[in-house]
Amino acid sequence: MNIQLKQYYTYQDFSSNCAFLLSSLEDIPENWLSSDEAYYLQRIKTNSPDEIIFPINRANYSWFFILPQPDENIAKYLENIRLAGYRLNKYTRKQGIKELNISLFHSSSHNLYALAEGIILSDYSFQKYRNKKNKVNKLLESVYILSEDFTEKQIQELQIITEAVYFCRDLVNEIPSKLNAETLAEVLKQKAEEVSMRVEVMNKEKIESLRMGGLLGVNKGSSIPPTFTVLEWKHPQAINRQPIVFIGKGITFDSGGMNIKTGTYMENMKSDMAGAATVASVVIAAARLSLPIYVLAFIPATDNRINSDAIVPGEIITMYNETTVEVVNTDAEGRLILADALSYASKFDPLLTITAATLTGAAARAIGKFGIVVMQSKAKAQLEWLKKSGEEVYERLVEFPLWEEYFDLIKSDIADIKNSGPAEAGAITAGKFLEYFTSYPFIHLDIAGTSYTEKHEDYRGIGATGTGVRLLISFLQNFIQNTQNQ
């Protein structure tokens, strides 16, 4: 991320590229505009009542007056401001603007935060493999926030959180030949050590000694050994003795295994490790923010490929907790590696465990790109906090049930459990499979519909979106606040 956030408490000279957040055009101070400019803005407003960006271009600079779509729902209004930031970013790119000042009239620092967030998240692009002549001009280098109410803490927080989203996107967008289980572990280890976090990378020999049959089983078709990475952030004054454990699905490429994906279903399967990228980014950001909390991230990682050793449907594998699993579909592999990690988490007596995974096409088909499917077991109160965070950052959650009847769909005749059920309720049976390996409060996030996009529609960009990073950081912040208030 190249954009640097800066702040001036007082600023007198607006003879530069500036964006002003307004609630009405009447908020513009008197004598700021010539009569022609004022007439021009009113004409745009009259002829295009849905317009939200009102540009004034002068000889050496431009002003942009921003009127986000109003909404009585505060969360939706803040999202409209982020979307206005996306629209504004398109203007800055078109005009080649490198430095932008943003300010506001008759609004709050929360609104200005959302505007800066929308601008910065919109400016991301993955250009590592483009030739120089084909690179997209990424010209915005600095955003200056002109507000006496905007604190240095907010500046630092926004910088760290948006950088975490960028890091997550970079990991997911990386090509499969450059990002496998081993290189993913190396990148995470280096990144975590930069902020003095404890890191452990378990190699194949260690994983074999732990008898993690799910991770080893999925890995049998690969020439690249699996890894299991543990990241730990424990603040000296952590408010929780028991850790919150985040577990991310780290399938670095998913061919489907012997149940090979057909048509174009394999096209974007480098993104099947988005859950791993999400939870790693969150815990590293927690350390950078110095949140007073104890959190762990578990990243079981492998690719799901095919060779003569690959597991086949009908195989039975023994998991870390000695549960036997009948593999009926090798393309239902993510839940196998997550299940080992969930069982391993029991060693740490977790306060809460949250899994993030691009787990099922069923979740994406059920609610599309507009939300994240969530399920919980013994974590009703924590889920309400997470839902609140989902509204605040506009990464909304749709709860699916984990009724006991769904377990009947994954009972096996020859093993303790099977790894897939019928097409109906596919997202739920996947969640039910994971729940089987828990004995503690548990939340499951299926991010299959939101983690990757093929259209550039808003500040989430194209390709990896980083969805889940802002959500889980906000959840940790809400958890800290709620705990301290009790």
Q: What confidence score (pLDDT) does residue 2 get?
A: 56
Q: What pLDDT sits at residue 5?
A: 64
Point out which residues pair with 300 in neighbouring strands: 228
Helix %, strand %, coil % for the chain, to 5? Answer: 40, 20, 40
| Contacts of 386 by beta carbon, 8 Å cutoff, 6+ apart | 354, 374, 397, 443, 471, 475
Residues paired with 144 in a beta bridge? 6, 101
Termini Cα distance of the chain: 38
One-letter identity of residue 217: G
Which domains does the chain carry? 4-150 (3.40.220.10), 161-485 (3.40.630.10)
Query: What span, in angstroms and rounded, lies between the C-alpha atoms of 472 and 395?
Result: 10
pLDDT in tens, the chain (486 residues): 556 666 554 445 677 899 999 988 898 988 889 999 999 999 998 899 889 999 999 889 999 999 999 999 999 999 999 999 999 999 998 898 999 999 988 778 899 999 999 999 999 989 888 887 666 666 788 898 888 888 888 999 999 999 999 999 999 999 999 999 999 999 999 999 999 999 999 999 999 999 999 999 999 999 999 999 999 999 999 999 999 999 999 999 999 999 999 988 899 999 999 999 999 999 999 999 999 999 999 999 999 999 999 999 999 999 999 999 999 999 999 999 999 999 999 999 999 999 999 999 999 999 999 999 999 999 999 999 999 999 999 999 999 999 999 999 999 999 999 999 999 999 999 999 999 999 999 999 999 999 999 988 899 999 999 999 999 999 999 999 988 887
Please tell me which residue in 87, 191, 305, 335 is annotated as part of the active site.
335
- 130 labelled catalytic: no
Q: Catalytic residue at 261?
A: yes
pTM of the model: 0.96
Catalytic residue among 261, 369, 387, 388, which? Answer: 261
Q: Comparing C-alpha atoms, which of 306, 304, 299 is closest to residue 419?
A: 304
Query: According to the model, what pLDDT value does residue 12 have?
Result: 52
**Measured between alpha carbons, how far is 186 from 201 in angstroms, rounded to an integer?**
8
Provide the CB-side half-sphere exposure for 9 (13 A, CA). 4
**pLDDT attached to residue 394:** 98
Distance between CA 274 and CA 412 in Å, rounded? 30
Note the Cα 375 to chain centre separation in Å.
Answer: 17
Sequence-distant (6+) residues with CB within 8 A of 69 are 50, 52, 77, 80, 83
The DSSP bridge partners found for residue 283 are none
pLDDT tens digits for range 420-463:
999 999 999 999 999 999 999 999 999 999 999 998 889 999 99
Q: Which of 199, 170, 151 is nearest to 299 (CA)?
A: 199
